[in-house]
Structures are given as C-alpha cells and as structure tokens.
Amino acid sequence: MHCLILGAAAGGGFPQWNCGCPLCNLARAGDPRARPRTQVSIAASADQERWLIVGASPDLRQQILENPAMAPRGPRHSPIAGVVLVSADVDGLAGLLVLREQQRLRIFAPDSILAILRDNRLFAALDPALVEQVPIRAHQPVDTGLGLTLTLLEMPGKVPLYHEDRSAAAAEKATTYAARLDANGRTAIVAPACAEITPAVLDRLAAADVLFFDGTLFTDDEMITAGVGQKTGRRMGHISVSGPEGSLAGLAGVKARRIYVHINNTNPMLLEGSPEYAAVRAAGFEVGFDGMAVEIT
C-alpha cells in the first residue's frame, strides 16, 4: 500500500493566516526547521494509479497541485477516485467543493455526515450523476473498488464547532471516526481526531502497520499559554501528545509506525530540533509533513 500525506496541519494550517505566534513567524520567514503545512488530508492507493483520500481538506486544491501523484493523466482526468469523510468538521468537508468540476468519484461516509451534505445546498454543486454518496457503517468493511478495503472505526470525539453550544464550558461528546485501509495484507489507519485513548481505541488500532494519529497539541493548555486562544485540547476533542494521559504514553505499546498529523500551529514539535520534537522522535514517533510518502511493504 502507498500512502501520501497531502496535508499534516490542523485547522488553519501552518503558518495560520491570522496567527503571529513565534512558530508561525518562523515558518513565514522561511526557517527550514519550521516547514509550512496545509490542513490534514491523507491519500492511499493500492496501485499508485487510483487514490482514495481521507479527509476533504479546505487546502485540497493546493495539495493536488503540489503532488504529482494527484495530477491528471489526460485532458479531463483525476487519479482521485474516492474520498472518505471521518468527521463533520469544516476542515474535513470543505475540500469537497474543490472536486465539483464534473469529475466522477465516490464519497464514503456514515449517513450522519452524508446528511450534512444533503442538508447544505452548497454541496449540491457536486453533481449526483457523477458523485456517488456511499453510506457506510462503523466496523463494517467496505470494498471501495480501488483495491482498498475501508473500515470506519469509532473514536471518542466531540460535535463539530458549528453544531455545538458555543456558550457551553465543555465540549459535547460525540463519535468521530478513524479510517482503516487494508490492501495486499497491509493496514493503514488514519485517526486525525481522538479525544481519549481507551482500551477500545487501543484494540482498534492494534492491527495497523502504519498509524496516522492526532497530534493537535503538545500540551492541553498550549493555545492558552501561547496567548492565541481560550480552549484546551480536551475542550476541542483532542488528546494531548505529552503527559501521563497523552498519546506518547498511551500509544507506547502500539507496534505500528506512528506518525502525527493534524498538528496545530502552536505545537512546538513542529520545530525540528526543539526539545518537544526530540522527545517525540526519541519515543519512536514521527512528525508528519506535507508530501511525506509512506510505503507499506
């Protein structure tokens, strides 16, 4: 199986358009230690001809232009044959509007997410004669027709921001999803959002050869201490990387190659050579970046 990180950042990208934090300023200045990153999206293929994309990033057009594997092979063609939606957040849906140019593809998602597409007239731009919406249920394998078997795995999360009560002090818990992709006896799991590592989560991740996992914040109060926000990672439905309840500790026993994605612009592990970056690497994890190719042999 072939995987390609089209984008590794959280919402807003890195640098974020309206953020002047030290890390974003380093990225804007071209510091090689702080690679710019677009918003998270992962592509997978069994044959390097047809690709399935997990997460329809708002930056999808830029990602297609920057990755030759996503380029058309003819006058009107795309190797992107399908999209998997694992959350109803804007950051995971908005890129669908980039794919409205009379291109045949399939959208795989739970019916709760497809209902959001049906209820929002903007997504009517996706011609139903060409774009097939395929409802799927969690934990039930689906043949995508691309040499990849897709299984949605339930993960602890929260409701999308536009659906929550913004005056509430805590996030309303809800199910989000990871995408398990199987091809040729190999397994990749894409889990860009996870609020907590439970025994059930560990059981679902155990089969992975490669795991792309939620790396949003290094510490729970990171955005508050950086002076750029008022929400903790827990409030946003994301587990922290560090700490006794963080993902470095929680995923220590997972045998897969572990790569962080959905990394917020304030996360110090974005700076190569930083103590946080070194801690992640010393623990056997990797910090994902745009254009990172992962071959699962």
Query: To which residue do tokens 């058309």 refer?
Result: 72
Query: To which residue do tokens 């190999």 refer?
Result: 186
How many Å apart are CA 134 and CA 114, to the nearest integer? 8
* Each residue's pLDDT tens digit, 268-278: 999 999 999 99
Q: Which helix (H) or strand (E) holds 225?
A: helix 222-225
Identify the weakest region by mean pLDDT among 22-31, 107-116, 235-244: 235-244
**What value does the mean pLDDT take over residues 42-52?**
98
Range of the domain at 47: 2-295
* Each residue's pLDDT tens digit, 55-111: 999 999 999 999 999 999 999 999 999 999 999 899 999 999 999 998 999 999 999
Please count the structural domains in the chain: 1
Q: What are the structure tokens assigned to 85, written together?
A: 């939606």
3-state secondary structure 173-224: EEEEEEEEEEECCEEEEEECCCCCCCHHHHHHHCCCCEEEEECCECCCCHHH
Domain of 101, CATH number, reads 3.60.15.10
**What value does the mean pLDDT take over residues 152-162?**
78
Q: Which helix (H) or strand (E) holds 280?
A: helix 275-282
Asked whether the beta carbons of 10 and 91 are under 8 A apart, the reply is: yes
Neighbours of 276 (CB within 10 A): 18
- The pLDDT of residue 171 is 52
3-state secondary structure 41-59: EEEEECCCCCEEEECCCCC
